[in-house]
Structure 1
């Protein structure tokens, strides 16, 4: 009995040691400073999407992403374990699902994004209330008519089906190299799905692909009896959001836009004399996924330093009117390594309640930004603040506190130039009083 008990104790201790050794791997599997080898959860309505959209998924895998495919109703779905997230990104290619399996729900998806993780959501004309609610929480409102699709009688893609103008050839892209890459997308993007509008109160959401001025959203199977709610360039086909915590979201009204069929399809836009042998879908979807998953436009800053001119050490306190130097390093993730970030609009604030000093930083083109300035003639607790916001780039927010003291009593000049009139007044008063006293005492 004692031998059996000892054996059981040994086994339990062994299992405990194994669990302790594995837990750090679960907890620190992803370093947010280097977005590589990331785990992506892909939820599908049907596993057949894995083959019908294989080109898109293969593109992600070839760039080092590990994709975990599951049905949206899979009861084993879990994005968090022991308080830590198991995935760094979430792709929802399940527009018709009205609930997720396992422990994932609407709040779970929003918490996932609030924790700084990325999301790609694709909908279509069968979009469920769950998918619509997720989009609404992200600042995007799909057409309230659940049967509506985007139709364009001017900018449609020429096809063999006469009168079917719901397959749009869209080419109104956002003008941003950091979001869509520096290489121009020559061919239009084939889009078949539902449109959405942006919440005007949400300043973080951007249109990436817009409909043309002749487009509108309606149910093609019913007669149009009233003006459609979404018309013209107000219709967004694909939008992105960069949250304040730098989490990135892409919302598309078309799941077919990512399919192999439209990736390989040729495109000819109505009214255009140019026919493209291949649509711009693959290039568009690939480039925007690079932005969403932080392969582009991802910044980091560090090594913030400040010191008096002529010194190297960081002082515990500054004195008013001191000359100081400030520097910070900023790098950008290139998809494989950190490279120096070069810009001419990075600024530093010397801040107390409001910025007393605002300086644009110079750069050595190697990631170092620097400047020098004089401490203002105001004492108190100041902060060096760098807050950098630029379209498509992650937001930088750094600060370091440093107090400023006034002159000590023995640090002032003996005679202040600006006080000479007062000195003159004092001495002239004394001399005058002395002369008056002599005259008054000795004059009969």
Structure 2
């Protein structure tokens, strides 16, 4: 592949990604407008669909272009634009092949392209004003005769060949919205105007809401499920973002039932790591009690995380950032404690000869980490030593962090 072709392919892939983002931004915008008994779907019946409380469905096609005219404006949606006719062709096929499809479906084409002398849009507007189907069909035939493209011809013919009743109702049920380029600004305006999110919170609220919805859609599509969001489901996500962004208070406390460590405690990854560096010793009753206490801290931290997520006190994004803070803190401690070990390894000392020194250092890492008291992002108060300790045990149990210098080789490959 030559450099020019590779560059063009990169641009094309980038434009496709922007197109997918454009679809999802519009999905978010429509989600903000959901009414009771309505639901919204993504990449199911169409790019986006809105299922109304009366049983009807609006199908949305989103078409984004990165092409610009010389003056910097987005290109126009031309009379023979493939975005236009491919969309109409797909809808017309469903109208033709599915019984009574028009009874319950209407159609919306949304694009960031501009409108300038588009013959289809003109005939569509005229028909909705005068109901003159013969005139509309003549104009469709005129558009058909103006192209030599077999692909476009096929798509226009699919529309023209609808019987008069279906074509008439089809044209009545189409809406076209052009020049819809800055959907993010529309979303933020809606958050401010309709949901009264204060301006200083808008950006973070939008980012949290978008991320929550995007994660939910990814998980659904990955599991080969439809991503359909009801009004109640959207409200729950919206509320979680609100509590986590605008209405942040001290995280709620809860008394859990007695937590009992599992019977296989010493086989858990976090316990194996501690036993191997002699931070706890299985032949010492005192040390065994310490391991039990550590395990209870870990299980309690896990219960709190699930509780806070369920109660929308935090979002999955909050948890992600908190984990990143914990891992960064652990990494700084780890690097600091093991600096001398690394120097010795650098000059050629065999790691096996450094084992006893590594053991001493690994316990230092544990002790320093146990002093850490971080907070959840955007909460003023820290989470407390017990919770932080429990979360670090969780990370070590999931083999995301370790204590021994060579912990990844020792545990991850087993």
Give the shorter-chain TM-score range: under 0.3
Task: Compute the TM-score of the two structures, normalised by the length of structure 2.
Answer: 0.22
Which one has a larger percent strand, Structure 1 or Structure 2? 1
Higher relative contact order, chain-length normalized (CA < 8 Å, sep 6+):
2
Q: What TM-score does the superposition give when structure 1 sets the normalisation length?
A: 0.21
